[in-house]
């Protein structure tokens, strides 16, 4: 089954054209008990075809246990974006980044490949000063138009500071986890499994919350 139609393929190919560095996607799937694994893999294979700078490695969560633990994979489907040297940058998507999340997925790929957006100096300094470990979970639904903005910001923070890691969590696929974090509105942004923000907040709000942890 083709996930992307010709029109979308063409558009994405253009968006990927300026990519500078290679980006490696590590996808973790499971043989059974994972409804969306097959679709996710098919979708990522199609995306990876759209640029020769993107490569995809598919791992079996139950078999490639070491790799999964190295990249802190806890559920399936789950994927991380690695840089050209296969370094983990703390950028993860749990659940298929389709629907509106195609936008955060593309944006994070571009960021990793070195064609990201530049921030003003003060913000960069504030981000680089963060010296404690921070985990950001962004719960989303695929039909939410502004959730991808929150995911992109979280990923960008992770990219700019190695103390930060950030993950998208598709709330329908991971219902139990969403219930654990009382997600009934998206995007819900949870910091270190405690403090949270609701809605696609400006970057300043992310930083205020992180600094208050």
Partner 1 sequence: MSLDFSLSFNTEEKSNRLDPSIIYDTIIIGGGPAGLNAALYATRKGMNVGIIANRIGGQVLDTSSVENYLGFNSLAGEELMQKFEKHVKEYEVAMTSDVLVKSIENDYIKKINASNGKIYQTKSIIIATGSKPRMLNVPGEKEYMGKGVAYCAICDAPLFAGKDVIITGGGNSAVEAAIDIAKIANEVKLVHRSEFRADKVLLDKLYSLENVEIHLQTQIQEIHGEMLMTHITALDKKENKEIAIKADGLFVEIGYLPKSEIFEGLVEMNEKKEIIVNNKAETSTKGIYASGDVTDVPYKQIIISAADGAKAALSANDYVNKLK
Q: Which is nearer to partner 1, 71 or 149 (CB)?
A: 149
Q: Give me the least distance between CB of 132 and partner 1, in Å please.
A: 25
Q: Is the peptide bond before 195 cis (omega within 30 degrees of 0)?
A: no
Minimum distance between the CB of residue 125 and partner 1, rounded to whole angstroms? 11
- Residue 3 touches partner 1, criterion: CB under 8 A: yes
Q: What is the DSSP string of 122-139?
A: HHHHHHHT--S-EEEEEE
Residue 22 binding partner 1, by CB under 8 A: no
Is residue 185 involved in binding partner 1 (CB under 8 A)?
yes
Cβ 35 to partner 1 shortest distance, Å: 8
Encoded tokens for 26: 């590590």
Contact 27, 56 (CB under 8 A): yes
Q: How far is CA 22 from CA 69, 81, 167, 177, 178, in A?
A: 23, 10, 21, 32, 33
Look at the alpha carbons of 121, 25, 49, 144 in this order and tell me if their dihedral is positive or negative: negative
Contact 161, 108 (CB under 8 A): no
Residues 143-172 touching partner 1, rule: CB under 8 A, are 143-147, 149, 171-172
Q: How far is the CB of 133 from partner 1 (least distance, A)?
A: 25
Q: How far apart are CB 182 and partner 1 at their closest, in Å?
A: 6
Please report which helix (H) or strand (E) contains residue 170, including its range: strand 164-170
Site for partner 1, residues 75 to 104, rule: CB under 8 A: 96, 98-100, 102-103
The reply on whether position 133 binds partner 1 by CB under 8 A is: no
Q: In this structure, are strands 196-198 and 164-170 parallel, antiparallel, or unpaired? A: unpaired
Q: Which is nearer to partner 1, 68 or 197 (CB)?
A: 197
Q: Under the criterion CB under 8 A, does residue 43 sit at the interface with partner 1?
A: yes
138: left (phi over 0), alpha (psi -120 to 50) or beta: beta
- Whole-number minimum distance, CB 62 to partner 1, in Å? 22
| Contact positions vs partner 1 (CB under 8 A) | 3-4, 8, 11-12, 14-15, 17-18, 35-36, 39, 43, 96, 98-100, 102-103, 106-107, 117, 119-120, 122-123, 141-147, 149, 171-173, 178, 182-186, 188, 198, 202, 204
């Amino acid at each position: 089954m083709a996930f992307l139609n010709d029109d979308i393929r063409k558009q994405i190919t253009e968006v990927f054209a300026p990519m500078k560095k290679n980006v490696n996607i590590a996808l973790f799937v499971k043989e059974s008990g994972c409804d969306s694994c097959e679709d996710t893999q098919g979708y990522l294979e199609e995306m990876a075809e759209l640029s020769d700078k993107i490569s995809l490695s598919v791992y079996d969560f139950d078999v490639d246990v070491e790799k999964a633990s190295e990249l802190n994979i806890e559920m399936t489907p789950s994927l991380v974006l690695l840089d050209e040297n296969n370094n983990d940058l703390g950028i993860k998507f749990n659940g298929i980044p389709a629907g509106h999340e195609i936008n955060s997925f593309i944006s994070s790929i571009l960021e990793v490949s070195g064609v990201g957006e530049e921030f003003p100096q003060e913000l960069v300094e504030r981000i680089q000063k963060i010296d404690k470990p921070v985990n950001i979970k962004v719960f989303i639904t695929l039909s939410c138009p502004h959730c991808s903005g929150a995911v992109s910001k979280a990923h960008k923070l992770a990219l700019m500071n190695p103390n930060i890691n950030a993950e998208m969590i598709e709330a329908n696929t991971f219902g139990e986890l969403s219930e654990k974090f009382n997600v009934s509105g998206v995007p819900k942004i949870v910091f270190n499994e405690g403090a949270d923000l609701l809605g696609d907040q400006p970057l300043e709000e992310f930083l205020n919350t992180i600094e208050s942890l």
